[in-house]
Amino acid sequence: MAYSSRRMYRLVLFFLSLSGLLIMRLFYLQVIQGPQLALEGLNIRVQELPVDVARGEILDRNHLPLTNTAQQYSIVIFPGQVEDKPVMLTRIDSIIGLPHDLLEASLRRLNSNEYPFRLIGGIASNTAKQINDMQIPGAVAVAEKVRYGHGALAAHVVGYINSADNKGVSGIEGMYDELLRGSQPEYVAAIVDASQQLIPGLGYKRMKLTAGNRETNIVLTIDKQIQQKVEQIMDRTIVKGAVVVMRPNTGEILAMASRPAFDANNLSHYLEQNSAPLLNRAVSSYQPGSVFKLVVAAAALENKTVKMDDVFFDPGYIDVNNTRFQGWDYERGPKGRLTITEAMAHSSNPVFIEIALKIGSDKLIVMAQKLGYGSRTKLEFLGESEGNLPEADQLYPGDLANLAIGQGFCEATPVQIAQTVATIVNDGIKIEPYIVSSLTSPEGITVKRFHESHPNVRVMSRQTAERLRGMMAAVTQYGTGQAANVEGLGSAGKTGSAETGRKNITGQGINHAWFAGYAPLEHPNYVIVVFVEEGMSGSNVAAPIFREIAATILKN
């Protein structure tokens, strides 16, 4: 009896073990290997052609798309389904009017190729409907997403891909390529039986299996509406240049645009243009001109080199080691006695050179470094320049005089300038700009929040920041930046006209034009930096553009 019980126990144990192994095998085949096996099985009875790349969306802060905003229609041919090849092509030609060389090439492909191919793309939606209504065996018109629509927004922010291998090259496309790029495209397929005939009720289908890596969406801090308004204004006012709009208390980039722009669908057209349309000028470095006087004033006040009621004299020039530095409006004669606020308002070169010489190169460079000059911002955008800030021990008096007015060895990016203004608005606490907010799944579920709050770093005292804001308000109220004042709400900022050392055909010096400021005057919501390459005058060119952008954004 005991022997029989042991036999029964062993038999039950054997069948349980066998069942366990079978369950594990089924789990492996159905759950782990299921998608891949399904794909391999379908390949036996599916003829397919990829129509949409497997790539995540780039979205604005409100999850509005900046990519895949348009679609086009293409005609796809499945050679195995074509009954009469010349007749099929003739029927399509009667509707579209195919070029003769395309007809000949397509006929050769039909005779030699068993694989589906794209006959022609870019057809109108009504034409696509007409083709499908004719139910031509082996021909189907399908909609395809256009990654970059005509006139797409934020071209330099989004960047572009190499369509040949679906790899990101520039902008967000390049920076987050591994996250954006999936491994399984969407395709149009013909579901066929063993005799290669369409299975009734299935026919042509759009399919996307889940085998392989899934793409991820990138959510930016960009506000699509603000970006659109900025670019519309730039298209009318800026041939070459950049605009940055930033939230001063968070560092979020709400808009970032560069001109000239480009169409990512036709890149070869832009490669040899002298205007360098592929260059993102928002993160490229240029001499900041008189905008750098904000740094000089910050260093002077922080180090107590200058008091607010100190009075300086501007004779229209200043001599430094036998070199004469003239005021930007030297022809108008002396400005006379000025406080530091009045000197900022009227952008006095002689006064700020005098102040810089009093401060000394060491303290001025330290303040510039604290504000972020000479190093890349935490934005870490692809291709972002660190600018240029000379070493203090390399500055002779003449070099220091040039630095005081944003000339010489000094270079900064529009994003760095925006960071400076945001720090002043934020009571002296340095604000780090950022542009990527989060990652989401294709279903829109947040996978990761990208921006971690950086520790607050005080660059200058609250009192110094408040005094700088007063100086910037004077610029727009009665100084060089009156054209930037926003009616009713007010604004503040600083003009800049940076000499390039080059001259135009009339012999006039070519300058870059800047205006960097914030709006509204009370409780600022926006820091806006306008840079116009070879724009000549910050007061006459950049300041009015600032006002129009600020007024348009604030109105909405």
pLDDT at 185: 67
Residues with Cβ < 8 Å from 43, sequence gap 6 or more?
Answer: none
The closest alpha carbon to 69, from 154, 187, 185, belongs to 154
pLDDT at 274: 87
**Domain ranges in the chain?**
2-32, 224-262+278-555
CB 179 within 8 A of CB 56: yes
**How is residue 256 written in tokens?**
């970032």
Pairing state between β 241-246 and 46-52 = unpaired
Q: How far is CA 485 from the centre of its chain?
A: 28
Round to whole Å and give the CA distance between 551 and 316: 34
**How is residue 505 written in tokens?**
């055909």
Q: How many C-beta atoms lie closer than 10 Å to residue 113's C-beta?
A: 13
The secondary structure of 182-230 as a DSSP string is: -S--EEEEEEB-TTSPBPTTT-EEEE----SPPP-EEEES--HHHHHHH
- Three-state secondary structure call for residue 475: helix
**How is residue 291 written in tokens?**
């905008």
Round to whole Å and give the CA distance between 222 and 219: 9
pLDDT at 27: 62
- Tell me the CA distances in angstroms from 364 to 353, 367, 373, 426, one per residue in order: 12, 5, 11, 21
**How is residue 251 written in tokens?**
């560092």
**How is residue 507 written in tokens?**
């012999």
**pLDDT tens, residue order, the chain (556 aa):** 555 666 676 766 666 766 666 777 676 656 565 555 454 444 445 666 666 667 889 999 999 999 987 778 888 888 777 778 888 888 888 888 888 778 778 777 777 766 788 788 788 888 888 888 888 887 888 887 888 877 789 999 999 988 777 788 999 999 999 888 876 666 666 666 555 556 555 566 666 655 556 788 999 999 999 999 999 999 999 999 999 999 999 999 999 999 999 988 888 888 888 889 999 999 999 999 999 999 999 999 999 999 999 999 999 999 999 899 988 887 888 889 999 999 999 999 999 999 999 999 999 999 999 999 999 999 989 999 999 999 998 899 999 999 999 998 899 999 999 999 999 999 999 989 999 999 988 888 888 887 666 677 999 999 999 999 999 999 999 999 999 999 999 999 999 998 888 888 887 888 899 999 999 999 999 999 999 999 989 999 999 999 999 999 999 7
CB 300 within 8 A of CB 355: yes
Round to whole Å and give the CA distance between 408 and 226: 35
pLDDT at 110: 79
Structural fold of domain 224-262+278-555: Beta-lactamase (3.40.710)
pLDDT at 203: 61
pLDDT at 223: 97
